[in-house]
Amino acid sequence: MEELIDSFPGLDLPVCEVISRLESMWHSDTLGVSSAFRASQMNVILHFGWKVTKSQARERFDTLLAFAQRYPCRIIVLCPTRSIVGGSMRAKLFSQCYIGDSHREMCCCEALFLGYQPDDCGYLGNQVSVWLEPDLPVYHWFCGVSSDRIKKYFGSLLVGVRRTIYDSSYEEEDLTLLNWPETNRLEDLAKARLLPVRQAIGQYLSGYATEDIRCCLKKVTVQHINIMRGEGQQLMAWIQGCLGACVAQEELEKTLIEYRIELITDPNSKESLSLEFKYSDLREFKWRKFRDGSMGDIKASISGEVEKISTRIKPLVADQTIAESLFF
CA distances from 141 to 44, 162, 187, 327 (A): 7, 11, 10, 13
CA distances from 3 to 52, 86, 150, 193 (A): 11, 17, 21, 31
Residue 295 gets the label, from left (phi > 0), alpha (psi -120 to 50) or beta, of beta
Beta bridge partners of 141: 46, 165
Whole-model pTM: value is 0.91
Tens of pLDDT, residue by residue over 152-190, are 999 999 999 999 999 999 999 999 999 999 999 999 999
Residues 6+ apart with CB under 8 A from 266: none
Determine the Cα–Cα distance for residues 141 and 166; give it in Å rounded to an integer.
6
> Looking at the chain, how many residues does it have?
328
Indicate whether 250 pLDDT > 70: no
Indicate whether 90 pLDDT > 80: yes
Please, what's the b/e burial string for 204-240 (b: 16 or more CB within 10 A of its CB; e: otherwise)?
bbeeeeeeebbeebeebbbbbbeebbbbbbbbbbbbe
Listing DSSP states for 125-180 in one string gives HHHHHHHSPTTS-EEEEEES--HHHHHTTTTTTTTT-SEEEE-TTT-SS-GGGS--
Tens of pLDDT, residue by residue over 56-89, are 999 999 999 999 999 999 999 999 998 877 668 9
Percentage of residues of the chain with pLDDT beyond 90? 77
Band (28; pLDDT cuts 50, 70, 90): low
Tens of pLDDT, residue by residue over 190-209, are 999 999 999 999 999 999 99
- How many CA atoms, within 13 angstroms, populate the side-chain half-sphere of residue 74? 23
Expressed in percent and rounded to 5, the helix, strand and coil fractions of the chain are 40, 30, 35
Indicate whether 101 pLDDT > 80: no
CA distances from 143 to 149, 183, 241, 263, 326 (A): 12, 18, 28, 23, 15
Which has more pLDDT, 249 or 213?
Answer: 213
pLDDT at position 97: 81
Determine the Cα–Cα distance for residues 31 and 284; give it in Å rounded to an integer.
63
CA distances from 257 to 71, 206, 215, 239 (A): 43, 20, 11, 12
CA distances from 75 to 34, 60, 72, 91, 198 (A): 19, 12, 9, 13, 31
CA distances from 201 to 76, 274, 287, 294, 305 (A): 37, 11, 7, 14, 18
pLDDT at position 107: 77
Report H helices in the chain.
18-26, 54-70, 121-131, 147-151, 189-193, 195-205, 210-214, 229-244, 249-254, 318-327
